[in-house]
């Protein structure tokens, strides 16, 4: 005879997962004092605040920065470097194989008060959208990377380097003389923004000078086609007014296993501030592809403007 015995099922609590380790977001409270101390007589510290944007600093996941505001006091070429240490939590895979440290280097060119600056605001331009980055009296926004696991920020004193420093020579290749030499005849480009910008040279791209204080989005297109995208937002100030510039690009180096991995760190820029008398390049990369034109249409690049759409450099957090 078979007997069935009741089985008592007891609720046994499962072992709880360990609590996730907190994100190691750098404490920016010490940044203002440490940053101001390294500026010397070259720049005046005006303040700073944390902000969010989309960027690239070792990966495209960068989004948290601390933005320092400084005013340029003297003209020249300057180098600002800061270093961080990575502090990865144990739950990440093989943290001992990851880079222990990184450094960021800004190269800053400051012109005399009346120096025309040259804008080349297309993606991937080495050194950022404008050169010189600022003139004496202008404000620079300097983004300090402050994403999780980056700790122990150390700022090196700002160094002034020779005007013929090789790395600055590469940045400074964007000159008035260079673009004037490319002139292939002004009829190549139609300038529909003539009340705001004077066409100085044309070669299938265009080199222009801001002639009026205004706000607008600048765009390149082909005649007979609609602009592709909203264009680049500009705020053009009078000739004698100061402007603010984001230092959007820094050299980036990670130390890993005795080797050094080089790249660039980028913080997304917003509206560009120019002055009457500054110049801007609108090159063929900004124009729509010719194969999209109607059959038999003439290929005429056009410089045009669109309604102003202000874009902040970052969102405060």
Convert the chain into a string of H (helix), E (strand) and C (coil).
CCCCCCCCCCCCCCCCCCCCCCCCCCCHHHHHHHHHHCCCCCEEEEEEEEEEEEEEECCCCEEEEEEEEEEECCCEEEEEEEEEEECCCCCCCCHHHCCCEEEEEEEEEEECCCCCCEECCCCCCCCCCEECCEECCCEEEEEEECCCCEEEEEECCCEEECCCCHHHHHHCCCCHHHHHHCCCCHHHCEECCCCCEEEEEECCCEEEEECCCEEEEEEEEECCCCCCCCCEEEEEECCCCCCEEECCEEEEEEEECCEEEEEEEEECCCCEEEECCCEEEECHHHCCCHHHCCCCCCCCEEEEEECCCCCCCCEEC
Average pLDDT, integer, range 140-161: 95
Tell me the pTM: 0.86
Residue 67 confidence (pLDDT) above 70:
yes
Any idea where the domains of the chain sit in the sequence? 28-311
Q: What integer best gives the mean pLDDT of the chain? A: 85
Q: What is the pLDDT of residues 201-222, one digit of tens each?
A: 988 788 999 999 999 999 988 7
Confidence of residue 298 (pLDDT cuts 50, 70, 90): low
Whole-number percent of the chain with pLDDT over 90: 52
Confidence of residue 20 (pLDDT cuts 50, 70, 90): low
Whole-number percent of the chain with pLDDT over 70: 83
Q: Say which range, 11-25, 140-154, 231-245, 261-275, has the weakest mean pLDDT.
A: 11-25
Average pLDDT, integer, range 252-267: 81
Residue 92: its pLDDT value, please? Answer: 64
């Amino acid at each position: 005879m078979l007997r069935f015995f009741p089985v008592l099922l007891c609720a046994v609590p499962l072992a709880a997962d360990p609590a996730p380790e907190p994100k190691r977001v750098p404490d920016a409270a010490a940044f203002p004092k440490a940053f101001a101390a390294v500026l010397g007589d070259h720049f005046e510290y005006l303040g700073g605040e944390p902000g969010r944007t989309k960027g690239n600093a070792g990966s495209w996941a960068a989004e948290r920065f601390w933005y320092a505001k400084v005013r340029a006091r003297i003209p020249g070429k300057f180098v600002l470097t800061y270093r961080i240490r990575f502090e990865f939590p144990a739950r990440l895979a093989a943290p001992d194989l990851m880079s222990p440290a990184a450094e960021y280097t800004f190269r800053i060119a400051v012109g005399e008060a009346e120096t025309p600056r040259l804008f080349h605001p297309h993606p991937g331009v080495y050194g950022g959208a404008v050169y010189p980055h600022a003139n004496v009296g202008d404000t620079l926004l300097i983004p300090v990377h402050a994403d999780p696991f980056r700790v122990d920020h150390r700022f090196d004193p700002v160094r002034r380097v020779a005007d013929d420093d090789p790395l600055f020579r590469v940045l400074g290749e964007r000159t008035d003389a260079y673009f004037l030499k490319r002139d292939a005849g002004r009829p190549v480009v139609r300038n529909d923004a003539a009340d705001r910008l004077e066409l100085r040279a044309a070669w299938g791209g265009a080199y222009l000078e801001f002639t009026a204080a205004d706000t607008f989005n600048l765009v390149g297109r082909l005649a007979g086609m609609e602009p592709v995208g909203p264009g680049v937002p500009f705020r053009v100030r009078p000739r004698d007014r100061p402007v603010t510039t984001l230092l959007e690009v820094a050299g980036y180096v990670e130390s890993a296993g005795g080797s050094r991995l080089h790249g660039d760190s980028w913080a997304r820029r917003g509206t560009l501030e120019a002055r009457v008398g500054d110049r801007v390049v609108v090159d063929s990369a900004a124009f729509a592809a010719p194969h999209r034109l109607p059959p038999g249409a003439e290929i005429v690049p056009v410089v045009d403007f669109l309604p102003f759409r202000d874009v902040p450099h970052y969102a405060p957090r």
